[in-house]
């Protein structure tokens, strides 16, 4: 059973900072990509940032230079440091983990329960 535990959401004023964390409990399989997505009311879920096991990162253009994704492989934990927050960053943020067994070509993904980030202007 794979489980993700998210934390760190909340209410912050525009210009402020928040840090999200997501810890994955995964055994047997390898974790490949860890990332954060978000979904604002009435909008599609979108990728915010992702990081591979080797540390390669990918960011949405709207958050680049403001958000930083990092990962502690020993703890199977991914972080999202969010600075200079804007009202348009308000959304439910979901952790996403892609894992599997590349030798047997078995790949899976799991989603966190979501954590609400509200930025007041």
Q: pLDDT digits over 10-51, tens only?
A: 999 999 999 999 999 988 889 999 999 999 999 999 999 999
Mean pLDDT of the chain: 95
CA distance 5 to 77: 9
Residue 110, beta-bridge partner list: 97
For residues 120 and 54, what is the distance between their CA atoms, to the nearest angstrom?
35
CA gap 18, 71 in Å, rounded:
16
* Stretch 70-90: mean pLDDT: 97
Q: What pLDDT was estimated at residue 26?
A: 86
Question: What gap in Å lies between CA 15 and CA 83, rounded to an integer?
Answer: 7
Structure tokens at 45: 């879920």
What pLDDT does 78 receive?
Answer: 98
The percentage of the chain sitting over the pLDDT mark of 90, rounded to a whole number, equals 88
Q: How far apart (Å, rounded) are the C-alpha atoms in residues 53 and 11?
A: 31
Q: Are 49 and 71 in contact (CB under 8 A)?
A: no
If 0-12 CB within 10 Å is exposed, 13-18 middle and 19+ buried, where does residue 60 land? middle
Q: How confident is the model at residue 84 (pLDDT cuts 50, 70, 90)?
A: very high
Polymer length of the chain: 121
pLDDT value of position 39:
98
Grade residue 2 by pLDDT with cuts at 50, 70 and 90. confident
Q: Does the pLDDT at position 95 exceed 80? A: yes
């Amino acid at each position: 059973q794979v489980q993700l535990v998210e934390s760190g959401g909340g209410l912050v004023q525009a210009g402020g900072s928040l840090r999200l964390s997501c810890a994955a409990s995964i055994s047997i399989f390898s974790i490949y990509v860890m990332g954060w997505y978000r979904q604002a009311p009435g909008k599609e879920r979108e990728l915010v940032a992702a990081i591979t096991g080797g540390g390669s990162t990918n960011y949405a253009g709207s958050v680049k230079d403001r958000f930083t994704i990092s990962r502690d492989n020993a703890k199977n934990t991914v972080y999202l440091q969010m600075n200079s927050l804007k009202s348009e960053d308000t959304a439910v943020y979901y952790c996403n983990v892609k894992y599997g067994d590349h030798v047997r070509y078995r790949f899976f993904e799991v989603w966190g329960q979501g954590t609400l980030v509200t930025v007041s202007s």
